Amino acid sequence: MYFLALLFLLITTEISAKVVLIDPGHGGEEVGAIGHIGNKNKYYEKDLALRLAKKIKDELAKSTSAYLTRSIDRLVSLQDRAQMADDVRADLFLSIHFNSSVNEKSHGFEMYYLDNNSNVATQKVERSENLNLKGEELIVNQILVDLVVQQTVSHSKQLARDVHEKLKPVLKKNKLDDRGIKPGLFYVLALSKRPGLLIEVGFMSNPGELQKVKEEKFLNEMAKAISEGVMAFVKNMK
């Protein structure tokens, strides 16, 4: 009986022993997007991203190993975030962000995987998320990106599909427009060299949407669905 229990433990450990590194975007003096509700209430992307990332970590930790690139409000370079993927031997990398636009009406959820072919609309998101990287390293990264895309794109796409599938009902329930899965050139994904996603939960520049996405209950639902999607992927990962 003891042997069987041990065997079971070994098998379940084998299946679920994937390491997920969750990356709350921005931090410290780099606040990311800024949103307002009314005149007084100001929200920073770095804070919302950290709240959601912690919840995802707690959900994932029930089934597998999960780490955060930062657990407090501090500045971390994209290189250091990526280095942590090596340090914790991450299998998957999830970068958590909230969107922003000069058009206050822009709204909706979207999710990116690393790929080279992106359109003009995506370039705006890329610019705001690719900050905090030094100029000379960008050149090296173009070569790195091609290599990493080759190695990760099929897994990243499948991960995106699995997470998206679990998120659909949450987005629908909370009346958040679903802008779907898109390719994007995000250096933090390239540098991490892992299959991964960059999630833009909703537009902080849209006060109505900010009101929804800052809610504890909504963030709990998102965290649970994202975690379920990741675990669905992990179970089928060869």
Q: Residue 192, Cβ neighbours under 10 Å: how many?
A: 28
- Residue 198: partners with Cβ closer than 8 Å, 6 or more residues away: 95, 97, 111, 112, 113, 129, 184, 186, 188, 189
Rounded (5°) CA angle 55-38-219? 10
Chain residue whose CB lies nearest Zn ion: 97
CB of 95 to Zn ion, least distance (A): 8
Minimal CA–CA distance to 228: which of 164, 156, 157, 174? Answer: 164
Question: Which 127-166 positions form the footprint of Zn ion (CB under 5 A)?
Answer: 129
- Regarding 182 and contact with Zn ion (CB under 5 A), the answer is no
Residue owning tokens 């410290």: 28
- Regarding 35 and contact with Zn ion (CB under 5 A), the answer is no
- Regarding 32 and contact with Zn ion (CB under 5 A), the answer is yes
CB of 129 to Zn ion, least distance (A): 5
- Regarding 184 and contact with Zn ion (CB under 5 A), the answer is no
Out of 46, 97, 107, 182, name the contact with Zn ion by CB under 5 A: 97
Q: Phi/psi of residue 113, each to 5°?
A: -120, 160
73 versus 165: smaller Cβ distance to Zn ion: 73
CB of 81 to Zn ion, least distance (A): 12
CB of 235 to Zn ion, least distance (A): 29
25 versus 202: smaller Cβ distance to Zn ion: 25
- Regarding 25 and contact with Zn ion (CB under 5 A), the answer is yes
Taking contact as CB under 5 A, which single stretch among the options 54-62, 91-99, 164-172, 220-228 is the one that binds Zn ion? 91-99
* # binding residues, Zn ion (CB under 5 A): 4
Q: Residue 158, Cβ neighbours under 10 Å: how many?
A: 16
50 versus 160: smaller Cβ distance to Zn ion: 50
Residue owning tokens 């800052």: 214
CB of 98 to Zn ion, least distance (A): 7
Q: Are strands 41-44 and 34-37 parallel, antiparallel or unpaired?
A: antiparallel
- Residue 209: partners with Cβ closer than 8 Å, 6 or more residues away: 107, 108, 176, 202, 203
Q: Write out the residues near Zn ion by the rule CB under 5 A.
A: 25, 32, 97, 129
